[in-house]
Chains A and B, each alone.
Chain A
Amino acid sequence: MTSTSTATAPAWTEVAGAFPALRQTVNGHPLVYLDSAATSLKPTVVIDAVSEYYRDYPSNVHRSVHTLAGRATEAYEAARARVAGFVGARAENLVFTHGTTESVNLVAYGWARRHLKPGDEILLTPAEHHSNLVPWQQAARATGAHLVYAELTPEGRLTMAAVRAAFTPRTRVVAVAHVSNVLGTENPIRDVVELAHRQHAVVVVDGAQSVPHLPVSVAELGVDFFAFSGHKMCGPTGIGALYGRSDRLRETDPLLFGGEMIAEVDRERATWADVPYRFEGGTPNVAGAIGLGTAVGFLESVGMPRIAVHSRELAVEAAQRLAPLPGVTVYGPLADRQAVVAFNLAGVHPHDVAQVLDSQGIAVRAGHHCAQPLMETLAIQSSARASFYLYNTREDVDRLVDGLREVGRYFGR
């Protein structure tokens, strides 16, 4: 996965130093950024790569023969190869999209509407982010298919027993997150794929919360489709990707018709360019792709296995230190979790928790985290959520724990 040996990998303080947004105070306190699950901070190399494209070679791709256009095309395709390699895929299997939402929609429109029949079933979990739920609701409505849920354990885990219990001969699609954006649980994708493929169902994975943190190989997982976003992994906003197995991509209809995605057009009809280009109608987000390629290089230079351990250790420490505080509930398992920690303080609304933390320079998310069915399952309206990444430190966990104590004091809880 990474070509950099640990011996030459940078220290964590040096890693944090690469993120200019951290060099600021917020409300009089040095910023503690604990909202990376919403979007990550950007390292200088990514900001520079985006600026360099706009400054030096702001040309369209795959069109003109002039030098700048050649450079832009080369950088765009190099980014594709790099991002594909980062998730264990080949370039021809990687479609650039604007993010996970578009990626899932491409599958739900382009593949599912063509293949689903009335009575077919789409298997989901109640923990899905709205972006891996609403497109399936719509696909079900359009095709007459039904949504079926594999329920979670009380601790918030997805077990294979639950998947098997929900699986029927009519299951055609299994759409599941790799890592939950609320519970921090990692789902058993390889086992899900094994079961699904035995029954000829297609597996679509939302990797928005896994690719930033874990070494991921779509080839090893064996998934049919895998969606992720650039902005949660140190890349720019507005860029993401869909991996599709070659056969699945070929049986997927494009979503956007127009320039760039065609082979030939006459007055009456058109034929499509090869995959993945047929899915990238219109001028793509060239700067975004180049920035994401650079972000991937940055993450590889730090080392994904190291990042995985780092994010996880901070999240586990935060979960285990927050949970015993008076009135605090932490959602999901306390040990063995990924980088997000959702929690509530009894009697204080998460908005108010986040506001008082912000007054201390600590940025957390408060809300339903685009997972309203999961909030309903947990019998809560919303929660606060701290999420960790490669630039966070143990001091950030200290600040969070102290900050939450201050929230309790402020509201007299």
Chain B
Amino acid sequence: MVSAKWGDILGANLDELYREVILDHSQNPRRMGRLPEPTHSLGLHNPTCGDKIAVDLKVEDGRVADYRFSGHGCSISMASASMLGDAVVGRPVAQATEVARGFVNFLTNPQSPETPPGDLEALGGVRKFPARVKCATLAHNALMEALAAHGVRAQPH
């Protein structure tokens, strides 16, 4: 009667989406705030809900020396932005970009072989909730765009 892909057959379990570690990151976000002198900074909107997340980065000697995020969003977007900081600080720029790119691929490509580093793996449940992929990837897209832009480009809100 009703298409099998959605609804019951999907069998999406809420607890798979809202893992304990995700709720913890969203309620106690790490590295939230602004950097006083970022080398890279970029804000992105989630047009479906109007949420905004801005990522500030300090790149020193080719490495991501510091990371902050600011803005507001749902538990998934906040947790993802919080987890991303731990996953990229200390890495060379190319690797940091790779973390973000790999995470987006992890969520959007079912054949993806990648396992995201650190707590980010806990967001795997988002794959069963396609409407939330935009939330989970907002900070990652901001980070990738910021690093690609070679400097402080857009002035986030």
Contacts and interface: CB of A to CB of B under 8 A. Distances in A.
B18 A372 contact: no
Contact of B50 (A25, A28, A348, A375): A375
A351 B135 contact: yes
B25 interface: no
A352 B74 contact: yes
Interface in A357-413: 359, 366-368, 372, 375, 381-382, 410-411
Contacts of B23: 411
A114 interface: no
B59 interface: no
B37 interface: no
Given A351-B132, A367-B49, A382-B49, A27 B8 contact: yes
Interface in A336-360: 348-352, 355-356, 359
Chain A binding surface SS class: mixed
Contacts of B129: 355
Contacts of B73: 349
Contacts of B17: 355
Interface in B1-42: 1-2, 7-8, 10, 12, 14, 17-18, 23
A349 B49 CA distance: 10
A381 B1 contact: no
Given A27-B7, A27-B8, A367 B132 contact: no
Contacts, number: 58
Given A367-B48, A375-B50, A351 B74 contact: yes
A20 B118 CA distance: 46
Given A351-B135, A355-B132, A27 B12 contact: yes
Interface in B100-129: 129
A4 interface: no
B14 A410 contact: yes
A23 B51 CA distance: 34
Contacts of A356: 14
Contact of A26 (B8, B51, B72, B75): B8
B49 A351 contact: yes
Nearest to B134: A351
A167 B73 CA distance: 38
A368 B49 contact: yes
B14 A355 contact: yes
B83 interface: no
B76 interface: yes
Interface in A40-79: none
Chain A's interface size range is: 20 to 34
Contacts of A382: 49-51
Given A349-B73, A410-B14, A23 B1 contact: yes
Contacts of A375: 50
A351 B136 CA distance: 12
Nearest to B78: A349
A348 B23 CA distance: 11
Contacts of A367: 48-50
A168 interface: no
A82 to B, nearest CB: 30
A24 interface: yes
Contacts of A410: 14, 18
A352 B48 CA distance: 14
Nearest to B73: A349
A160 to B, nearest CB: 31
A359 B8 contact: no
A25 B7 contact: yes
Contacts of B12: 27, 359
A135 to B, nearest CB: 18
B2 A24 contact: yes
Given A26-B7, A28-B8, A349-B74, A366 B49 contact: yes
Interface of A: 20-21, 23-28, 348-352, 355-356, 359, 366-368, 372, 375, 381-382, 410-411
Given A25-B8, A351-B76, 8 more contacts: A21-B2, A25-B7, A349-B73, A350-B74, A352-B76, A355-B14, A372-B50, A410-B18
The 8 closest A-B pairs by CB, nearest first: A351-B74, A349-B74, A368-B50, A367-B49, A359-B14, A24-B2, A382-B49, A26-B7
15 contacts: A20-B1, A21-B2, A24-B1, A27-B10, A28-B8, A349-B51, A351-B49, A351-B75, A352-B75, A352-B76, A355-B129, A359-B14, A368-B49, A381-B49, A382-B50
